[in-house]
Structure 1
């Protein structure tokens, strides 16, 4: 409770300082152009725009579109990442070829793939899903392969001695022992997917939070732009803390990695 109170107080202080500075016009023009701050106000104006957009349903609808795209693309990335990761960990030839290639692909920002996505899938949902999937797949692959490679050999040997093999060995020994690495991979991959979908929606699709960001930019409605930025940060923080961080802590306690 103390932590929540500190965070809420901190945010309120930031909004108050922002509002005071905006009203008094303390922003140096060379550092903060007038368009950055809504002329009719600061933090209060932005929060008012955000609340109005939520109550009207426009922002909620856009958020729903973005989250659906995100979940679909992220699910694809999980399936591909776990599959590639297992193959890389299981077969030396795959590690020497695909593993090396994945390491190179991971360093390429997902937005760089957008021109190819447009050529291959056109300007629409398919291109955005491709960007999201490609943005999260390689991180998921690297983390899952590390998890599979670090399964203690004694576990596998003991299971084989008892007659386990094939999918049964994978399901009962390898996957459970790799869970801590996989959870960490999910958390990082989600962050990459979240950034990728914002970039994809900014560049080429109707609907979604990225579309509202681009709309605010084109109409010079900085209160809308800033309100969407705040919403993106809030959603990302909530999902990271309430889903992935909790999963990570639960797994860490279960595996004896944390008291």
Structure 2
């Protein structure tokens, strides 16, 4: 009797074999465990290097040490002198930055609305973005005099062009598929902008805000090195300039350290928080 052969099984009916899941890689190394200490460790190393270099130079007039600068900083905070100068600078900075942001978004809307607006804004950004804001200070003094108006002019210039450039580039880079999806859901006009275009372009907008903030902060300090803010009240740059004239080098370094600390605080508390609750949460940035 001949053997009975089973018919061959077609491959599409064979159940696929599931591969065993790869074990999760859990890193317990010191990098992940102590990663939050990396930036403070870098700052501490720089401070130690600064102190050692000051001791090697051994001239407080040229290079005060980190400890001497810290004492001048604490004395300025305790007396309220340094806080007063910082308050004046931040008040001017907030006004100029918000005004620049409003103008930048108006120009961005013009750039994305039609072709003529896009060409106009491209031309304007090519002309004025490379122009240093501090170079406009003599013209600002001629137009607005010695006061807040001159500072606001140079601050607005330092914010408008980088923010307009980044925001308009972000809106143009929004994929057409997202626009089509928005139209399929019945979105249009302002709802399309707020619910589709702005979230998609938000990484570029945040980059523009960070660049504009940095430009505005350093422009303000440079402008205040020339004159006080308004009505005889000086800002942080004026504090640095006055102490340089009086040869209080430790106070000069305390003012510079204040500029750096404010920059770090704004970056950490404002921009990183904004990124964490938006673009990182949405998976648009690592």
Instruction: State TM-score, norm by structure 1.
Output: 0.87
| 1:140-155 matched pairs, under 5 angstroms | 140-155=163-178
Distance 1:66 1:176 in 2: 32
Give unmatched runs, 5+ long, in structure 1: 28-33
Structure 1 residues 79, 50: CA separation in 2 closer, same or farther (over 3 Å shift)? Answer: same
Q: Which of the numbers 243, 265, 274 marks the counterpart of 1:247? A: 274
Q: Which of the numbers 258, 263, 273 marks the counterpart of 1:231? A: 258
Report how many aligned residue pairs link the two structures.
250
Distance 1:159 1:201 in 2: 47
For the 8 Å contact 1:88–1:94, the answer to whether it is kept is yes
For the 8 Å contact 1:180–1:251, the answer to whether it is kept is no
Structure 1 residues 162, 20: CA separation in 2 closer, same or farther (over 3 Å shift)? Answer: closer
Question: Counterpart in 1 of 2:50?
Answer: 18
Distance 2:40 2:171 in 1: 40
**More divergent stretch after superposition (242-251 vs 177-186):** 242-251
SS at structure 2 position matched to 1:257: coil
Instruction: State yes or no: 1:36 paired with 2:62.
Output: yes
Deviant stretches of 4+, over 6 Å: none
Instruction: State TM-score, norm by structure 2.
Output: 0.79
Decide which structure has greater helix share. 1
Give unmatched runs, 5+ long, in structure 2: 1-32
Structure having the higher Rg? 2
Question: Counterpart in 1 of 2:22?
Answer: none
C-alpha displacement of 1:256: 2.0
Distance 1:57 1:26 in 2: 30
Question: Counterpart in 1 of 2:192?
Answer: 169
Instruction: State yes or no: 1:215 paired with 2:247.
Output: no
SS at structure 2 position matched to 1:203: coil
Q: Which of the numbers 92, 109, 128 marks the counterpart of 2:151? A: 128
Distance 1:208 1:148 in 2: 37
